[in-house]
Structure 1
């Protein structure tokens, strides 16, 4: 994609910074809602065992906050790709923790919500591994020299 000035968008440093501020805001709001008010305990389908997964979930959110703060400071695509891999790994750990604890109680519903949640967790895990592969490819593209003589990640 060429920009108006002829440079490819992916060559611009600010493109690696794009979305960092909104991401920080969204993660901060989610952390507040889950941990402070109204708190995860306000959701009727979550059991007291949710406390056992919140450490991993909060760690994944904190990894996202730190990564996005780094993206604001260092607008380099290679750094963003590595940061995304780290965030995804934290997310995978949290998802596996949720799978193993399964802190959900859907009551006597005639619909099998537990099965749906398990399917969604599998989709999240598979998608995360695909995301790691995609970010590894983005990292390699970012560090390889571009025909113009500049690395793509600059």
Structure 2
């Protein structure tokens, strides 16, 4: 009557698969593919160090945030693959050969400890889950422990996620 087409199966809704698969790795494979497609542009190899830094912070580390917030605990292999993809992009030069001069773990340290301050996907997920748990039930038994350990001087609503992440080791 309204002319709306009936679709048997939606593949994605808000960028996420609508049908849950048996394996989370298969279900979240599109995140890895999407990240690689954004970083594997033709002119990305010609970017300066500052340009790569901006591209990693603005695109690569922000892209999987929504998906990781919906699927609270993605597989470890996905976090490792995402980090490996970003590290490969960081070290590649115009000649397509790359030498990793410093480990990615050291690159993810905060700037005051000699790193570049890139996000660790695994620690970021833990921080998001902890903040969700605290916001759902601020009177739980674990809330004072999280608050005392990571942000003793303020509360969760007035701290940035970056400050919370810097407290997670």
Instruction: Report if TM-score (shorter chain) is over 0.5.
Output: no
Normalized against structure 1, the TM-score is what? 0.29
- Structure with bigger helix share is 1
